[in-house]
Chain A
């Protein structure tokens, strides 16, 4: 096996390079085994760290093929011809694979983190999120920091997931005022909740949940940043994120050819479509619900809509730590949905989906009692069952995994299956895909709190998409679509951004499925 290793010698000419080494692959080897072999047998000048070799000291982390890993616990894929080993990202390189962890140590020593090691978070409003399991055991390997899309943009200011986990570690009942949390509060809200840190963690630490808990602690102390406080109040009072009258949730349907084919009252519904705030109230996102209802109609699926009875799913409130207010919205939604008697709900917004499916039961302590599907799951089954013939759409596309659908909900293949089912579509992958996908920047209220930071993250993701040479970025999230579209527009990038529902509807039309006779082009 050919192993390429990042080499940098501060005593040399100052230029990093890659060394290539032939390593005989024996049965099972970890990344650390490979490094030890290279050092012992091939090149004694290789600098790398390790101490315990059994996953407890957290000093041997590197990146394997771009992905941060704990080298002693990371097996090498024996089938690969070539692997690439590089130092952790977001920390300065001292030599070869050795990075300078001073930033982290400084964070530990300042007051920000004097609750580090206090690995318990009782008495929070979201106790079900913060179980012993969620706390895991941080071994300070910094793998989480290496993959964080916010840290890379804010190396000087942002504590990174490694240090932020400690921020959550104080209970409400502690007598000392939580100065650390107050100090950290402005950065705590910059976390995108993309879950990359949690996915990479070998210690089982649910960093994203810990950060939610920290936010909740801040909200309860009245320490929310102003913009988020105002935003939260809007959502709590208006029941949507736009602040408009909630009764206008079906405006997007007004120009629909032939109007809505919502099932009549009394007709048994196959599915209830929970549109979500963006699709309902943001004109630039109307295309998503428009495409989805036309698909449902074309496939002959009796569906229902809730109009003004649909309230925000409350995710923005949970992300802002405003759990009490979130509960009111959730209670309303649960009652409204159960009253409709549909066995299933469908959502095109992964955030609504994740919130309904994962957070509602945890926050409310009760089951929703209705099957919850994301649009891509429904589309996949419609295509599979032959209910939705698809015509040709010749296009080279790449697929952007939304964090709430991918890492948070484990749905990676359904959207890809749907795209592959469209004749003419060529699907190419970005360098970071599936569980490694980079966030678009649109997560966790960042658009409200720090739009500049959101744009930086979006720029990075757009860059990965452009590298593939795709004509279109397909995603399955209204917010990702908005964010990436905005990034593409700012950079005048020659790439289209669309939701998977939009390209599927286009394919359905190409197969002659727009039975209402309208050309539909005005809609798409």
Chain B
């Protein structure tokens, strides 16, 4: 067992975690960032294509107020408006931080910023670097954090948060590289673990997005909100297998056809067709076609970008090349796409300082709920991680430095022992039950069937039963005999445990919301019901396990009728 100590411990090293790290270090805190995979590489940030921000680069008709309005309308009024206001107001400053640290955004020939347009945004608003803005951001943030003295450790699978006197004061996990258990003590802990894409069989997210932070926060007693809100990116490749799940950005400019060669969006909007539809609407339309047997060869629909002008493809260079290598020339032929899990709007409830409901625990980025409401607009995720990553870093550092260093060897020794026992038992079991990867597969299958784009009360109830079965199988699961070092099966076992808990929280929250709003669509209640359901679903784990309640949404600026 090894012990590490820091002022601020950050779990997760995508954009939110690294921004937090840089800002906390700037405040003078000793910062430790850990990640399940390689630092800066394993989250969703590297895959991101655009950053929504208004600033001096914006056209005169755009403003932070417009950005606010678009975000709240797009989010089906479920957004925490106080947080949205902070995001739209502060993102320009964070863009300037990035540029100061070396981030180049695409400019036009006259050196003004290139701004992309996207559904739900009333103006061109997305800063870009071809379609690889996330790659550049992750690189700039990581090298900046390192330069500021941040300690970064990859290959650390954090499994539980640790407390002292009711405050979160550290975490325990497995160091894959040494094969040792690692306890980390800190004055404050920031969760920046990202989303849950791996709960579904088709996802645009990285292999590491298993919702660990959500599970750990819930186990530590934090309130999570709107857990039913899972965003599907409507146009993810279903074929070929090598790049299954890859979300096509060119979709914004493309036409969709079902297996019968119909522009099926015409049923919804005969004039506008695919234009300007947010992701929730597009996903339901596509999912509906597939479910009704009008899909394409590989259970998707056809995306046709052959009419898209060549100069538009220049903004999708990586995407075009990747598809071409995999046998699809998007300029000449159609691709097969379906909705893939892309972004999680639900998550840890935070205040404007990124504090969760548990003392000592902060959160930022996709692991939090509230900012995006019921649907996230494209580009808003990078805005979110920059703004709230920075805030989490600053406020967590302030709190940690105020509290000073405390020894942590006494941190929840019971939990640490439990975790070690659990891992050891897994390693010692020999083929008594399914492999962790098989449990994950079954979980993904049932989540797609029952808890995805279109849900029903019956499907959700059935899902709970099946999740329960899987939960009973997991303690019997076994691997093929690896040791402690870089044992992927052990990591998958630890992930599956968290995934089952998160899946259940999603399903239970979905059962609670008896309406359709944002990404949540319930067949029995296909309408939005503002009279009764303009509320957050709030989930908390207690002695009686899941406790759900309706909490008011903060309407600080804008009501539905505005």
Contacts and interface: CB of A to CB of B under 8 A. Distances in A.
B480 A44 contact: yes
Contact of A57 (B130, B177, B206, B326): B206
B104 interface: yes
A364 interface: no
Nearest to A27: B240
B32 to A, nearest CB: 14
Given A11-B485, A32-B242, A117-B103, A54 B47 contact: yes
A169 B136 CA distance: 14
B47 A56 contact: yes
B174 to A, nearest CB: 14
B104 A54 contact: no
A6 to B, nearest CB: 14
A58 B146 contact: no
A22 interface: no
Given A51-B206, A72-B242, A73-B322, A10 B485 contact: yes
Interface in A130-186: 137-140, 169
Contacts of B154: 101
A387 to B, nearest CB: 43
Nearest to A100: B177
A55 to B, nearest CB: 6
B486 A109 contact: no
A10 B129 CA distance: 41
A120 B129 CA distance: 13
B143 A117 contact: yes
A445 interface: no
A94 B242 CA distance: 26
Contacts of A169: 102
B101 A117 contact: yes
Contacts of A120: 104
Interface string A22-59: 00001111101100000110011111111111111111
B117 interface: no
A99 to B, nearest CB: 11
A33 B102 contact: no
A27 B101 CA distance: 44
B259 interface: no
Interface string B202-222: 000011100000000000000
A117 B179 contact: no
A261 to B, nearest CB: 52
A140 B242 contact: no
Interface string B129-170: 110101110011011001100001010000000000000000
Contact of A108 (B134, B143, B487): B143
Given A51-B42, A56-B134, A43 B483 contact: no
Contacts of B486: 47, 94-96, 98
Contacts of B130: 137
Given A57-B42, A95-B486, A43 B243 contact: no
A47 B206 CA distance: 17
A75 interface: yes
A254 interface: no
Nearest to B241: A33
A510 to B, nearest CB: 48
Given A11-B484, A51-B42, A118 B102 contact: yes
Nearest to A42: B480
B257 interface: no
Interface in B432-486: 435, 437, 479-486
A56 to B, nearest CB: 5
A489 to B, nearest CB: 46
Contacts of B489: 44-45
A53 B42 CA distance: 11
Contacts of A114: 143, 147
B485 A44 contact: no
A119 interface: yes
B318 A43 contact: no
Contact of A105 (B152, B242, B487): B152
B528 interface: no
Nearest to A73: B325
B139 A53 contact: no
Given A28-B326, A44-B479, A94-B177, A52 B206 contact: yes
Contacts of B103: 117
Nearest to B132: A137
A98 B487 CA distance: 11
A108 B154 CA distance: 15
A169 B143 CA distance: 14
A73 B323 CA distance: 10
B501 interface: no
Contacts of B152: 105
B429 interface: no
B46 interface: yes
Nearest to B246: A54
Nearest to B38: A59
A94 to B, nearest CB: 6
B135 A105 contact: no
A211 interface: no
22 contacts: A9-B483, A11-B179, A27-B240, A32-B242, A33-B242, A44-B435, A45-B479, A45-B481, A45-B489, A47-B488, A48-B488, A49-B38, A51-B38, A51-B206, A51-B207, A51-B208, A55-B318, A57-B41, A105-B146, A108-B142, A113-B143, A118-B102
Interface of A: 9-12, 26-30, 32-33, 39-40, 43-59, 72-73, 75, 94-96, 98, 100-101, 105, 108-109, 111, 113-120, 137-140, 169
Interface of B: 37-39, 41-42, 46-47, 101-104, 129-130, 132, 134-136, 139-140, 142-143, 146-147, 152, 154, 177, 179, 206-208, 240-243, 245-246, 318, 322, 325-327, 435, 437, 479-489
Given A43-B480, A49-B37, A113-B143, 4 more contacts: A56-B47, A58-B41, A137-B129, A139-B135
4 nearest CB pairs, A to B: A44-B480, A109-B146, A45-B482, A47-B486
